[in-house]
Chains A and B, each alone.
Chain A
Amino acid sequence: MTRALIPLVRLVLLVGGVPVLAASAIDAFGFEDAQAATRYQRLLAEFRCPKCLNESLASSGAPIAVDLRRTVRRLLDAGESDDSIRAHLQARYGDFVLYDPPLRPSTWLLWFSPLLLALVAGVVLARVVRRPAPAPTATEREQARQLMQKIQ
């Protein structure tokens, strides 16, 4: 390995280490079966911590995230389905807690603005491409003729 690669390797190790550190924020959870533990972790990753703006319930160390993890665990143990757990949290903390916001009139802009932007870009591109090239001027024609002569 050359010396030049060392900073890169350091960066990869640093960034790669972040999820490991984040996962350790989850409280010890003694699940009987592995399937329930996986479900628990998958659900926690779906919810956004209300206090921390951009951390999931799985990774946040905020006290409210601890409370919400306990709530998810309680609902899970009570045999609630994934959808009813989602609905439970949404009823209390609003759409904000869902990383995957529902499709409804108030979120149309959020869902469709990328599509709209792509459409506008497509129209602009099409117009630019289709625009006829201006007729060459007399000087340009003369230059072209000279070039052709050189090639031949």
Chain B
Amino acid sequence: MPGAKRLLPLAVFAALAAILFAGFSLRDPHLLPSALLGKPFPDFDLPLLADARRVGRDDLVGAPRLVNVWATWCPTCLAEHGELLRIRMETGLSIVGINYKDDSAEAIAWLNRYGDPYDFNIVDSNGDLGVELGVYGAPETFLVDADGVVRHKHVGAVTATVWRDRFAPALRNLLER
């Protein structure tokens, strides 16, 4: 069939175009897979935002929690703030904040102004805990189980859709085990 042979270059081109389209447009190249999934939350020794007490990994275990990396300089953090408040109110899930490379006084003022969904906030002023967590931009949110193991990670705003489709099923899995 000579017709089929003549169409071969077109078919190869179409296949290549499809692969490149998928590679370049469907997947956001800024989203990196977390290397931390299934691994214990790293140990740390950092002060609280509210007072000078220091906390560590032991303060995170005992119950499943969201750990949310945020800062006042991060507009997306403000965008997701309402959803975090709603999650805290409606599900009662514990949320711990990591105030990431921020000014503590400004962070406290920010929480007073927009509401505070956090059980407590850890001050990571130079970003060292961020590096331990593989954070490369705020906001990032981790679901940590009662044993302190990271079960899910989301980069970018936690929206109602992200909560419903990603975090809620992951949390349900944790609670059923």
A→B interface (CB under 8 Å): 50-51, 53, 63-64, 67-68, 70-71, 90-94, 96
Contacts and interface: CB of A to CB of B under 8 A. Distances in A.
Interface in B12-37: 29-30, 32-36
A90 B134 CA distance: 9
B132 interface: yes
B29 A94 contact: no
B131 A92 contact: yes
B126 interface: yes
A50 B155 CA distance: 13
Interface in B103-159: 126-128, 130-137
Given A50-B136, A92-B36, A96-B32, 14 more contacts: A63-B101, A64-B127, A67-B126, A67-B130, A70-B126, A90-B35, A92-B132, A93-B32, A93-B134, A93-B136, A94-B33, A94-B35, A94-B134, A96-B33
A67 to B, nearest CB: 4
Grouping DSSP codes into helix (H, G, I), strand (E, B) and loop, the B interface class, with mixed when no group exceeds half, is loop
Interface of B: 29-30, 32-36, 101, 126-128, 130-137
A26 to B, nearest CB: 18
Contacts of B134: 50, 92-94
Contact of A92 (B29, B35, B101, B127): B35
